[in-house]
Structure 1
């Protein structure tokens, strides 16, 4: 590819057109806060489109840092590192929601940042997140905020049994405790060091699902159809992405709710909205929003092999100010999350998964993240399975699951 074909740096901030014809010979650089697997896949997507990339992450062996043009190896709140990233980049995004919102605000004073600090701050705090759900007109589980002893003493016991969740730093089931009564609630809050929390009423669940969308600087939104998710021990295990994985009316409601949330917080970038399907006695069930992730999400990994554009392509398009593309899913798909447990046998001894047998099966697409050590519960990669029809897809998935010893394959 010649220099004239590359996306070129422009001075027309805050939106980066990503088009040629400016007469410049300097290639535009896109930055990402965070060097994990999501950053790595963003970097690959950006580089495939001709952008240079920069990663800020303190880990010298971070998966994204090892494949990027630039790796700023500092803490996420290091002033010198943030200044260096700003100098390198034309626009900056984040790969996970716990990057300090203040750091994104600092970067935004110099360069376009998407998603913005305010939207990320909402995702970092369950209390603010719930308020924004209400403001967006979408239904969430009945809840109460617990920030002090008075809140605990005056709690409406109709919320019990429930799930106590820390307001901050909760993901993959972390910072969550199930409580059956007031005594268990008080003990759980003590165990959580009396940090601000949200108590959610426990509801009878039928299923879980999510919607992935992208919203541009101009407010344009494109979205994938809702996908059905299966979690094991609080971590996503399987995503079903094909027609019929959810009732059509329910999927349409989820899409409308996700779009409303994105508009209400003036979101720019890729957003995942996770939902619970609650058993209300009806055939379909009722839909309530659980949480948002201001970034690409595990449940969207299937888009890398089953769609015209992946969620990481959309992250590049939205950050760079390019017109968002029309999305098309060309194949039914299932995504299987690969944790470090796959690298252990039933006795807990290290093993090498039989990738040769797995990849000999039709429609299997392996994505490993370049992490150097496999530990139980650590996300090491994912496997996408595509097929021309759903029965073939399910049959291959069962074979893969047997070969790798994967859980969570109950059918929709």
Structure 2
């Protein structure tokens, strides 16, 4: 989950009222929402009543990140209001085991993996996966949280503790040539509109830079778009999603994960494309015609993490576009904003 750029804040001229239902974490939300329901704890019955009242006020709903309680999404849909993406999609995205299993069921190959329900299962699984891998919590965890790199003979119980001592998944370590992602929109009528995939650089599990377009071969790019379309079609998805992929050294594609929302590796589209991912998502969710995703520029996007955002002035060179997210606390490793640097399209 990104939680780093708020969908409606990034879209100019939204035609219609915007209502926001917020769990209340004290950070920035949608700046021009006409109504905001903020709930902190409280009686579950009151929460259900509040969700029903919220559903009665809207015609369609979407989400900012995928770790929204599926029960809440199902309740809104039971009130006759479509949520895009729906609860079934969220349940797959929230559980890494369900996600990888679904990939295989629809013909998208993920990195080899093993289910881990107990620390004593870690070493045998690691050995079977080639002796090098990443142990990840099945639920929650993002930007490098809830995961640990393992290699060779390991101490299973400390590794288990690092992922929260909960159900986990062990993924084989992939010696890849590069990482790319496909950001794409799908409409209610099945129209599929992908952006040119960027090439992504991570550090400590956190995206630092996206370069667009990727320098991968045309054949790899077309196959990546095909896989993203396969995923969107099988989910009967409406909105913008992202599919993260490893490109192996022999040119094969392995799925890392998917995100049922606008994605950090697609934030550059707002500055470099005729229709950015934020506007495209709202178009799809509201049933409006999808826009032109074509790039008018090449370039790169750089994430600002933690206190890097405090020195934002130094990044305003050579026409760079600065985006700050309005978060109150500059925590180490937290995405506070990004910069898009454009250059003429090759």
Q: State the Cα RMSD in Å.
A: 2.3
Match of 1:137 in 2: 107
Q: 1:95 to 1:152 in 2, by over 3 A?
A: same
1:68 Cα offset (Å): 1.7
Match of residue 217, structure 2, among 243, 247, 250: 247
1:224 Cα offset (Å): 0.4
**Runs (5+) with no aligned partner, structure 1:** 1-33, 344-351, 391-412
User: Structure 1, residues 137-193: CA drift from partner, whole Å, max 9, x if none?
Assistant: 111111111124675586472212211111100211111111123543454125445
Match of 1:225 in 2: 196
TM-score, normalization by structure 2 = 0.91
CA distance in 2, matches of 1:216, 1:368: 29
Q: 1:233 to 1:150 in 2, by over 3 A?
A: closer
Match of 2:147 in 1: 176
Paired residue secondary structure (2:61): strand
Q: Does 1:71 align with 2:36?
A: yes
Q: 1:251 to 1:298 in 2, by over 3 A?
A: same
Larger mean Cα displacement after TM superposition, 141-150 or 210-219: 141-150
TM-score, normalization by structure 1 = 0.77
1:262 Cα offset (Å): 1.3
CA distance in 2, matches of 1:35, 1:184: 31
Match of 2:315 in 1: 358
User: Structure 1, residues 109-159: CA drift from partner, whole Å, max 9, x if none?
Assistant: 121110010001100000100111101211111111112467558647221
Match of 1:166 in 2: 137
1:326 Cα offset (Å): 3.2
CA distance in 2, matches of 1:130, 1:60: 30
CA distance in 1, matches of 2:239, 2:111: 26
Q: 1:228 to 1:106 in 2, by over 3 A?
A: same
Paired residue secondary structure (2:71): helix
Contact 1:162 1:179 in 2 (8 A): yes
Paired residue secondary structure (1:262): helix
1:90 Cα offset (Å): 1.2
Larger mean Cα displacement after TM superposition, 258-267 or 220-229: 258-267
Q: Does 1:288 align with 2:258?
A: no
Q: What is the correspondence of 1:2-401 to structure 2 with a 5 Å cutoff?
A: 36-38=3-5, 40-45=6-11, 48-59=13-24, 61-75=26-40, 78-110=47-79, 111-148=81-118, 151-152=121-122, 155=125, 157-159=127-129, 160-181=131-152, 183-242=154-213, 245-279=215-249, 282=250, 285-343=251-309, 352-353=310-311, 355=313, 357-359=314-316, 361-389=317-345
Paired residue secondary structure (1:210): strand
Query: Aligned residues, how many?
Result: 340
Q: 1:109 to 1:205 in 2, by over 3 A?
A: same
Structure whose alpha-carbon radius of gyration is higher: 1
**Runs (5+) with no aligned partner, structure 2:** none
CA distance in 2, matches of 1:167, 1:61: 27
Larger mean Cα displacement after TM superposition, 153-162 or 380-389: 153-162
Q: 1:88 to 1:178 in 2, by over 3 A?
A: same
Q: 1:79 to 1:239 in 2, by over 3 A?
A: same
CA distance in 1, matches of 2:190, 2:345: 35
Contact 2:123 2:154 in 1 (8 A): no
